[in-house]
Structure formats: C-alpha cells, structure tokens
Structure 1
Amino acid sequence: MHETATPDSGGAALPEALRFRSPAPLVDIGANLTHASFDRDLEAVIGRARAAGVTTLILTGTDREHAEQAVALAREHPGLYATAGVHPHDASRWSGELARAMRELHRQPEVVAVGECGLDFNRNFSTPAEQERAFEAQLGLAAESGLPLFVHERDAGRRMREMLHAWRDDIGHAVIHCFTADRETLYGYLDLDLHIGLTGWICDERRGHHLRDLVGAIPLTRLMVETDCPYLLPRNLPAKLKGRRHEPALLPWIVREIAHWRGIDEADLATATTTTATAFFRLDPRQQDSAAPDHRQEST
C-alpha cells in the first residue's frame, strides 16, 4: 500500500480495549514506520508492538529515502528489518542512478526483500509503461541479489501474473503484499507459488468482505500478516481510536479476524504465519526472541 492521504498522528497510549496481546509472537511484514505520523512517538509505537507480541517488524522501503531510513531504524532496534524498492506510484523516477542505489541497499544485512515494487493500474500516478519498466528492472535486481520480492498490485492482476510468470525461474520467493483482489487473481498467484500478505482490509465490511471467503484457500505455508500501518486501520475495532493512524500493536486483532473466518485457533494462525514469515525473509529467530515482550509489564 502507498497512500497519499496522511493519517492523523497518534501519540497517546492505546485505549484499554485495544491493548491486544497475541498468544504467539507475530511478524508484521509491512509496517511503514518511516511515515511522518510516527515521528513524534516512534519509540512508544515499537514498545506497544512488542507488548502486544509483535516481536518482528519489516519496515517498508517505498523509495530510496524511506528505504535508507528503514535501514537506519533496523540498525537501532533488534527485531526490525527493512525492504528496499521503488513503489509503482514513483516508477517514473526510475533511473540508472536509482538502480545503483537500490543495488547497494540490497547488500545491507538489514534489507530482507526487494520492494515495495510492482504495478498499480488503479491510480496510475506513473504510466503503466513506466511502472512495467521499473518493475522489470527490480525483478532483475531480485534475481541478482537472491532476495525475495515484496510486491504491490492493484487492478493489475493479469499483467502482474504475466510478468512474474516470465521471471519465475529466475527469482526466489515473492509475496503479494496487502492482497485485496478476487478469487481468480488469488488462485493465479498461488499457481505461481507466491506468498500472500493479508491486512486489516478483511476487517472492512464495505470493501473486504469477499476476503472472508478466500482466506481458507491460502495454505498456511503461504500466508503472512501485516498492518500496512499507518494505513488500513481496521474498521471493526472494539473501541474508537483517536485519529486514523494504524500501528503494529493492532496486528493481533487482524490475526484474530483472519483466524475466525478461516475457522482455526488464533494461536495456531499466529504460530503458522510467523513460521512462514521467518522462513520467507530468512530471519534470525534469536533476534526475534531478543525482541519478545516482557509479559510482567503492561503495555503502554
């Protein structure tokens, strides 16, 4: 996800009704913590995530500036990692210089995926041709680096499948992050052996209700969870949150919702998605353990 609207800044502690704690450690595979809305209280946000059992955060790098910021944060905080890519909205900026900068970022140990990159034919802030050019180049960088792909797709499922199919033998793992599409698109991605990232979109009775019938079709070995914060605040939270800013501490609510519609135990889903994410991003479980919350303390 990569929105232009700016969610209201947070800063206050979460209401008691929103202080969830996951029954097992979680990996948030898509957290935009370099967004300006987190500038004022980033340390508290990370602390609340850990208190909620969200022990690992993959910080999304949507352009050079935010990828570099994500790497810097990952160096400061155990359990934080980064991705590095150019979002399709910014594909018109792709250049040889940017490709070289991305290649250097992909060499950093904190970077665990190429992306966020892909196709967005919904808004076309960059033309489809520019998007395909930048995505093709980043597919090449993924093949070169051996890193997995963190992919954005909106209203471009057919073309996305065509491009990924052409590269499938050259790239490793790939995840369609913030999946919101239909059954045909989902099955097409699963046929390509792709992973699927689900967000609070499933909590939206207006736009995401169709996902409730699809979650059971996603193998647990292919399913991961994410907030895409500060965007996509779940609409069915049990209490109102001042402002509109989403944060990683609310990921357990999304897991609970997915587990409900899948018909499995919440703890089992948490364990499975964390196992899948740890393998996908090649994370060090020891770092995840070091970032685990101290359950003797209350969340803030």
Structure 2
Amino acid sequence: MSMPGSTECEWADIGVNLTDRQFADDREAVLQRARQAGVNRLLLTGTNVEESRQALALCQRYPDQGLLCTAGLHPHSARFCNDEVLSELRELLEQPAVAAAGEMGLDFNRDFSPRPDQEKAFEAQLALAAGLNKPVFLHQRDAHDRFLPMLKAWRDRLPAVVVHCFTDQRRPLFDYLDLDCFIGITGWVCDERRGRELAELVPHIPGNRLLLETDAPYLLPRDLPEPPAKKRRNEPCLLPWIGERVATLRGETTQALAQQTLANTLAFLQRDWPAA
C-alpha cells in the first residue's frame, strides 16, 4: 500500500484511530507501512476514557515509532460524562505522551448523545484543556451555530485548536480561521461525490493553518488506483495520497506541502516530536 515517491517527504498524520479493532491483528505492520511511506509521526485519537488509555498504552509500547495521542470524550459518548470520567481524563492528559485534549465537540447529525449532554461534556473538556494548557482536537458535525460560540468563549484560554476532519462549508471554515484554528483535512477531499465543495475550499486555507489526517481506518480515499484488499480499510500509509491531492488543489509541490503541514503539526502541539 505504499505510494510512489512518498518516502521523499516526511509526513505527520494528526488523526489515526489505531485502537480500532480493525487494526487488532496487524498494528505493527500498519506502523511499518506508515514509516515506509514517510509517515513517521502519528497522533492517535482517544474518543473515550478506555480508548484514550489504549492509545496511551500504544505510545508506551512503541516508544520509538513517532506516536503521540489525545485523550477525550467524543460527543457520541457525551451522555457518559461525569466527574469520575473528567478526573480520569485529567490524569491521562497529564501523561507525557498525551499531546492534546479530545476528541471532543458536538455532533448534531447522529445525536447518539442528547444535545444538552454533548454541550455539557464539551464545555467541561474545554475547561479541562484550558486549565492544563493543552491543545484541543475538535469534532463538529451539523452543529456549527452552537459549536462556534462555545469555542469562541474559550479560545483565548487554549494554546492551540484543530477542527479535525473538516467537511463543512465556507462560512464555518472562515469562522474557525478567524479564531486562529488549524483545519484538519482528510481523504474526504478525494471523494468526487461528497468532497467537491471541500476541494473548492482547500486552496483558501492559509498555509500555516493546514493539517493532514487519514482518520484511519475510516474515510478511505475513493480515488485510489488500487483500493486495499484488506477490509477496504484506510491506513496512515495513504496520507501521502491525500497530500498529493491537496497539493494539486493548492497549486503547490507535494514536498512543500509535506514540509508545511509537518511544521504546522509541531506548531499545533507546541512540543518536540521525534520521528519514527
């Protein structure tokens, strides 16, 4: 699954669900393929306390593989938020390998948790991140009008923000850019059906605000010449394919985009991050 010429560049994938059971039987091979493709820094996503613990455990198990992680409660699980959960998240966020708070935010598309519970959990996690001076990794789907004022109220107290897996429209994009947020772009931009509007917006993201992610194992790029045989599963090694698409849309070289997005990733996390 390596991409032609991808090892000429160094890439950072800021959204990898490596704890997902789809990776249960071949995580080491996934990491090896990522390295071979030049993707030598992976930010593993924590979406609840247990998955955040598992992500941290992977960082500790593979200390030389360029792994860091997040710890948070996804809006789908917001109904489970309570003082114990927040205390456990605080403990996780104090661990050296946990580089950002999240995935947190609002999802009014599926409403797996009641909206008041989502708002309460989002607010509590923003406060937690601000208190610990942690960057935040955010999720927003069909909830911009409520999400924006909540984020705006906390933005000055947060060191850095990324709106992960951005797939929204022009107004939300510029609202987030006005708040000096980073914007995470995934393989959605490679989807000729759903990603058309995003492809038109990508050139308008300032170079120093752009981050790249696979959101693996989800959002497999639809325009791959040969889709992977294994479960049609996305992997970090496919990040260079997304990068080439984004570079083409922006009229940039792939190498320049890789360098810029890696620098942006380090700026978002505000820390040293040795490569694999």
TM-score range, shorter chain: over 0.9
For structure 2, the 5+ residue unaligned runs are none
- 1:137 aligned residue: 124
| Residues in 2 aligned to 1:106 and 1:156: alpha-carbon distance in whole angstroms | 26
Q: Which digits, 9 at most, give the CA deviation of each residue in 1:144-188, with x for residues without a partner?
A: 110100000001112111101111222221100000000011001
Pairwise CA distance, 1:279:
1.7
Which of 14, 31, 34 is residue 29 of structure 1 equivalent to? Answer: 14
Q: Is the 8 A contact 1:86 1:116 kept in 2?
A: yes
| Residues in 2 aligned to 1:114 and 1:240: alpha-carbon distance in whole angstroms | 33
- 1:83 aligned residue: 70
| Residues in 1 aligned to 2:216 and 2:107: alpha-carbon distance in whole angstroms | 19
Matches within 5 A, 1:251-266: 251-266=239-254
| Residues in 2 aligned to 1:24 and 1:58: alpha-carbon distance in whole angstroms | 18
Percent identity between the two aligned chains: 51
State yes or no: 1:238 paired with 2:225: yes
What is the total number of aligned residue pairs between the two structures? Answer: 273
Which of 13, 25, 31 is residue 46 of structure 1 equivalent to? Answer: 31
Distance 1:39 1:264, change over 3 A: same
Matches within 5 A, 1:58-207: 58-77=43-62, 78=64, 79-207=66-194
Larger displacement relative to structure 2 (250-259 or 274-283): 274-283
2:250 counterpart letter in structure 1: R
Q: Is the 8 A contact 1:54 1:248 kept in 2?
A: yes
Pairwise CA distance, 1:76:
2.1
Pairwise CA distance, 1:128:
1.0
Larger displacement relative to structure 2 (163-172 or 131-140): 163-172
Over the aligned positions, Cα root-mean-square deviation in angstroms equals: 1.1
Q: Which digits, 9 at most, give the CA deviation of each residue in 1:250-279, with x for residues without a partner?
A: 000000000011111110000000000012
Q: Is the 8 A contact 2:7 2:36 kept in 1?
A: no
Pairwise CA distance, 1:282:
2.6
- TM-score, with normalisation over the residues of structure 1? 0.89
For structure 1, the 5+ residue unaligned runs are 1-13, 292-300
- TM-score, with normalisation over the residues of structure 2? 0.96
| Residues in 2 aligned to 1:266 and 1:241: alpha-carbon distance in whole angstroms | 22
> Per the alignment, in what secondary structure is the counterpart of residue 108 of structure 1?
coil
| Residues in 2 aligned to 1:238 and 1:262: alpha-carbon distance in whole angstroms | 22
| Residues in 2 aligned to 1:19 and 1:157: alpha-carbon distance in whole angstroms | 38
Pairwise CA distance, 1:22:
4.3
